[in-house]
Structure 1
Amino acid sequence: MRGAALLCLALSVGAATASETGADPFDAAIAAFRAGDAGRAAVLFKTLAEAGEAEAQFNLALLYAEGAGLPQNPREALYWAWRAQIAGIPRAEALSQRLTAALPDEARADLAERLERVLAPGIAAGDARAMFGLARVLLQLRPEPDAKRAYEWLAIAAALGLPEAQGARDAALAEVPEPDRFAVQDGALAAFAEWCRAASHPAVACAAAG
């Protein structure tokens, strides 16, 4: 994982190292930022972010949040912070929480729908991390959390073997009133069968789905 995030770079001084002036676009973006060319860094980070580079997504979120190289935009900052968070960048979570608290409900709902669209291809392809990310969006970003759908995706992600989804699934179920838990689990099984029918790359276990 890339180690140099812009929060650290803001405190760094000195010229770029030889590796930062090489062909790697991420290193080139770091070098541009250190040289005071935040606009060039933004261009490079956005290209990488759109290609799925998690550290670039986080750095792009920081640029939008601070208005460095790009006009300050909390909505775009939060979008890329969430993309980085879903991709597994721990530092992105604190930024996401701070930005989420500042956005009005309508903007949060729009952003949740945007993230759901972005995650849809990965979910169809059987990416358990995308399912886990969608569950977090449904619980933490939507103005009105959708606990039922979130539990369903956590249950499916856990069934597909994502370790962190197992604890999150159990925690989500613990929040459900005990008399309703069997119904919620039945709903997750039905959601798994529905996903299997629609998936572009269904799991082996889909052969056992009803």
Structure 2
Amino acid sequence: MKVLQVIIVAGLALIVSSPATKAMGHSQATDALFAQAVEAVRAKEYGSAVDIFRDLSEQGEADAQFNLALLLKAGLGRPKNYEDAYFWFVLSLLGNEQRAEPMVDELSDLLPPPVQTEIYERISERLNQQLAVGNKRAIMKYAGLHANFLIEPDIETAYVWYSIGQALGLRGANDGTAAMTALLEPEALIAAQRRALDDFESSEFAAQPSQDTIE
């Protein structure tokens, strides 16, 4: 087995056995599919692994997104594709899979800014669709995308969604709101607060109960 493949298999096994995986609230069915994908990698059945990880990634599983991106970056199961790998690495990092961060940094150096912008637009569209149907898991991701990834950060939009996340009691939203507040001029801050209220009241989230932890 090649060194790169050893690294990938070790990474997948680590995620499966990590306590963080259980903390993500995976269902038994999700855990079973995840384990099946890992076994496919170990058996060098990379195409099957990609298919399974992609299905889980579409469901928003950050660890599956990370592993799918690893395979796409390495060219295992599908031809090597840095654009799709970056797409899934960024989504994974937005979903708090911290091991994606060095991969995002590495691919950021390889992808031209216009290509990165296209990928951010894809991610924004995906998250917008989730926000429209009241998916709370998209709130912090959408805020983080606008605060930390765009070529030109959109601080006001980031504030709006961190603020909505704070209203719903989402973990990390308070810190995000505070960080964006420090970057906004007073007039822009008031405008962002008005926008946050309007967006909240016209969204599916206004009727949802608050809670203190959402990943």
TM bin, normalised by shorter chain, reads 0.7 to 0.9
- For residues 204 and 165 of structure 1, the distance between their equivalents in structure 2, rounded to whole angstroms, comes to 17
Once the two structures are superposed, what CA deviation does each residue of 1:142-172 show, in whole Å capped at 9, x if it has no partner?
2222122212222221222123121122122
Is 2:165 the partner of 1:161? no
Identify if the C-alpha distance between structure 1 residues 201 and 136 changes in structure 2 by more than 3 Å, giving closer, same or farther: closer
**Greater Cα radius of gyration, structure 1 or 2:** 1
Alignment equivalent of 1:190, drawn from 187, 194, 200 = 194
Identify if the C-alpha distance between structure 1 residues 12 and 85 changes in structure 2 by more than 3 Å, giving closer, same or farther: closer
Once the two structures are superposed, what CA deviation does each residue of 1:86-111 show, in whole Å capped at 9, x if it has no partner?
22222122222222232211111111
- Quote the residue 2:119 is aligned against: 111
Aligned-pair CA distance for 1:11: 7.5
**Partner amino acid, structure 2, of 1:9:** V
Alignment equivalent of 1:84, drawn from 89, 92, 105 = 92
- Aligned-partner SS, 2:206: coil
Question: What are the ranges of 5 or more consecutive residues in structure 2 without an aligned counterpart?
Answer: 1-5, 14-30, 210-215
- Quote the residue 1:9 is aligned against: 9
- Quote the residue 1:39 is aligned against: 47
Q: Quote the RMSD (CA, aligned, Å).
A: 2.6
Is 2:67 the partner of 1:56? no
8 Å CA contact 1:126, 1:203 repeated in 2? no
Is 2:210 the partner of 1:202? no
Aligned-pair CA distance for 1:197: 4.4
**Partner amino acid, structure 2, of 1:188:** A
8 Å CA contact 1:38, 1:68 repeated in 2? yes
* More off after superposition, 100-109 vs 63-72: 100-109
- Aligned-partner SS, 1:72: coil
- Quote the residue 1:172 is aligned against: 180
Identify if the C-alpha distance between structure 1 residues 142 and 11 changes in structure 2 by more than 3 Å, giving closer, same or farther: closer
8 Å CA contact 1:152, 1:187 repeated in 2? no
8 Å CA contact 1:58, 1:84 repeated in 2? yes
- Quote the residue 1:145 is aligned against: 153
Identify if the C-alpha distance between structure 1 residues 161 and 7 changes in structure 2 by more than 3 Å, giving closer, same or farther: farther
Aligned-pair CA distance for 1:10: 4.3
- For residues 48 and 163 of structure 1, the distance between their equivalents in structure 2, rounded to whole angstroms, comes to 23
Identify if the C-alpha distance between structure 1 residues 36 and 100 changes in structure 2 by more than 3 Å, giving closer, same or farther: same
Question: What are the ranges of 5 or more consecutive residues in structure 1 without an aligned counterpart?
Answer: 1-5, 14-22, 206-210
- Quote the residue 1:132 is aligned against: 140
* More off after superposition, 73-82 vs 159-168: 159-168
8 Å CA contact 1:61, 1:76 repeated in 2? yes
- Quote the residue 2:105 is aligned against: 97
Number of residue equivalences:
187
Aligned-pair CA distance for 1:33: 0.5
- For residues 12 and 151 of structure 2, the distance between their equivalents in structure 1, rounded to whole angstroms, comes to 38
8 Å CA contact 1:108, 1:141 repeated in 2? no
Aligned-pair CA distance for 1:80: 0.8
